[in-house]
Amino acid sequence: MREPILKVNNLHYSYGTGNPALKGVSVNIYNGEKIAVIGSNGSGKSTFFLNANGVLKADHGEISYQGTVINKKNLKELRKNIGIVFQDADNQIIASTVMAEVGFGPMNLKLPREEVLHRVDEALTYMNILDFKDRPPHYLSGGEKKRVTIADIIAMKSEVIIFDEPTAALDPLNAQMLEDVLVKLGQEGKTMLISTHDVDFAYRWAERAIVFDRGKIIADGTPLEIFKNREILKQANLKRPTMLDVYEMLVEKKMVKNTDAYPTTPKELKILLENNLYYPESSVPMI
């Protein structure tokens, strides 16, 4: 068995006086995994992320990073290795130019100036915002700010990257661009956790899905397993991905053979249709 890169054990957390936001969360995350974290509003996703990054201190339970249990002394290591893109971009941006903002993390890592500049350029190019470099963040739009905050974390080159609803503010083109960036980051071997309400995105991108409901993990498995389980979907207020519905309908109406190769994108469906059209033996296909 592989050693998990991040191991969370029986985590409890409550905000100030209020109700508990996390009630015993345990999960093992392995190197290079692409995980979608799903669940309804207020189910505890953001809280879980902040705990995993060591920003919120759990009331109970422990977190280990690469086998080392995190305590006050090695908290810095955890933060260095786990980057988090916050849900609200305005809570993350602290500098007054985009360049200074993206350079903030690398500067805190005490990297030499040349390296910082290089990383800033690289991250801005990744997010397609190189020409915003000298602009002040307070004159950017919501989606542009979001892209800046994503570049922030890319520039830190942390092993594990957490995105809290990254696609929420983006237009379709930039959401697609972000997906391309995620693929690139995946090829670099990064471990990624993304919380999202976009089930279609979770279905096509993730290798593993974790479902939160009222501060607990109620399901953990491949997106296919989870989205086929109607009970879980109902409990977590989720809906089924369109591609899954389409595929099952095609199979049900005997239009494609049931190959268990579930398509997750229209492109995959097209390939499937080209190869697996269901022809009853006796009849001649009509075109």
Partner 1 sequence: MENSSAKRLDFVRTNEKSDNSHHHYKHHHQIGHKHGEGSAIDYYAYASKIRGWNPSFKVAFSVLTLLLCIVLNNPLVSLAVIVSMAYLTVVKGGLPLGAYLSVLMIPLTFIILGTVAIGIDFSRQPIGQFNLYLGFGYLYTSIAKLKEMVFLMMKVFGAISAMIMMTLSTPSSEIIGVLRKAHVPKLIIELMNLIYRYIFILLDVFNNMRNSADSRQGYCDFKTSCQTFGNVASNMLVLSLKKANAYYTAMEARGYEGDLVFLEDEKPFQISQVIYAVGFMLFLLLLWYVTK
Ligand X SMILES: Nc1ncnc2c1ncn2[C@@H]1O[C@H](COP(=O)(O)OP(=O)(O)OP(=O)(O)O)[C@@H](O)[C@H]1O
Contact residues for partner 1 (CB under 8 A)? 50, 53, 55-56, 76, 79-80, 83-84, 86, 88, 90-97, 99-100, 102-109, 113, 116-117, 120, 131, 134-136, 138-139, 152-153, 156
5 near 160, Cβ under 8 Å? Answer: yes
Q: Mark 165-194 with x for binding to ligand X (rule: CB under 6 A) and - for no binding.
A: ------------------------------
Closest by CA position to 69, among listed 7, 4, 158, 160:
7
What angle is formed at CA 84 by the lines to CA 194 and CA 93, rounded to 5 degrees?
A: 120
Q: Mark 77-116 with x for binding to ligand X (rule: CB under 6 A) and - for no binding.
A: ----------x-----------------------------
Shortest separation between residue 86's beta carbon and partner 1, angstroms:
6
Shortest separation between residue 222's beta carbon and ligand X, angstroms:
21
Identify which of residues 87 and 149 has a Cβ nearer to Mg ion in the complex: 87
Kindly tell me which residue out of 45, 79, 119, 146 binds ligand X, with binding defined by CB under 6 A: 45
- As a whole number of angstroms, the distance between CA 262 and CA 224 comes to 8
Helix (H) or strand (E) holding 179: helix 172-187
Identify which of residues 56 and 120 has a Cβ nearer to ligand X in the complex: 56
Shortest separation between residue 70's beta carbon and partner 1, angstroms:
14
SS3 of the chain: helix, strand, coil, percent, to 5: 40, 20, 35
| Burial of residue 279, with CB atoms counted within 10 A of its CB: 0-12 exposed, 13-18 middle, 19 or more buried | exposed
Order across the sheet with 6-14: list the strands.
20-29, 6-14, 60-65, 68-69
- As a whole number of angstroms, the distance between CA 37 and CA 217 comes to 10
CA distances for 184 relative to 71, 113, 124, angstroms: 32, 25, 14
Under the binding rule (CB under 6 A), the answer on residue 42 touching ligand X is yes
- As a whole number of angstroms, the distance between CA 159 and CA 187 comes to 12
Residue 131 interface partner, choices ligand X, partner 1, Mg ion, none, CB cut-off 5-8 Å depending on type = partner 1
Kindly tell me which residue out of 6, 27, 35, 44 binds ligand X, with binding defined by CB under 6 A: 44
Under the binding rule (CB under 6 A), the answer on residue 21 touching ligand X is yes
Identify which of residues 33 and 101 has a Cβ nearer to partner 1 in the complex: 101
Per rule CB under 6 A, count of chain residues that contact ligand X: 13
What the block records as the tokens of 283 is: 């009849």
Kindly tell me which residue out of 46, 92, 158, 191 binds Mg ion, with binding defined by CB under 5 A: 46
Q: Residue numbers of the site for ligand X (CB under 6 A)? A: 15-16, 18, 21, 39, 41-47, 87
Q: Residue numbers of the site for Mg ion (CB under 5 A)? A: 46, 87
